[in-house]
Amino acid sequence: MKAAIMGLVCLVSTLAGNALITSAQAPQTPTDTTAPSYDMKAQALLDLQGVNKKCVDLAQAIPSDKLTWRPSADSRSFAEVFLHVAGERYGILSMMGSTPPVGFKAKEFEKSTTDKDRIIEDLNQSWDFANKTISDMSNADFAKLLPKLGPQANEGDVIYILVVDAHEHLGQLIAYARQNGIVPPWTVAMQKKKAEAAK
């Protein structure tokens, strides 16, 4: 009797496992036919514009002598992170064929300056480049396949990578600022607004 029950348990387990494997291998048919409510082009531009403004505001708030500060010897400095953000706009968008400005040298860009005005100028110029590149894309371009990046990769994925990367480095810069006792300007503005409202 025990053997029969054990055999039945094994059979059910095997059938259930096979069903899971089959369903995992079968292409999934979407059941939601509702029109998308998310406009990736508009949202990406909004996000990237917001990140650039915060980067520029933060660069302006950091004393010039702190731009070479780094949390450890193997980490980027403030200046290098700002320039990394600017340079990646050219580098990431070039994955879908956009051409960086003449003279842009990706390998040298992060260490190209520690001058605050130049860093801010580089951030703004690279934002202009990203803004124009994305604004010039059609909705169909976002779905255009890029097989070199993967079988189902498309140009929309490149924009997504750019947005995620920008937010990652903004967080890094905020952490750097906080370690140096620098409160981000937008936080200062919010705290001031709250204090005024509380009066």
Place of tokens 């259930």: 16
pLDDT, average across residues 21-40: 64
Query: Alpha-carbon distance 48 to 164, whole Å?
Result: 9
> What residues have CB less than 8 Å from 104, skipping those under 6 apart?
87, 90
Tell me if the domain spanning 46-182 has CATH number 2.30.30.40.
no
Query: Alpha-carbon distance 170 to 13, whole Å?
Result: 49
Convert the pLDDT of each residue in 63-122 to its tens digit.
999 999 999 999 999 999 999 999 999 999 999 999 999 999 999 999 999 999 999 999
Whole-model pTM?
0.81
Report the DSSP beta bridge partners of residue 145. 154
Residue boundaries of the structural domains of the chain: 46-182
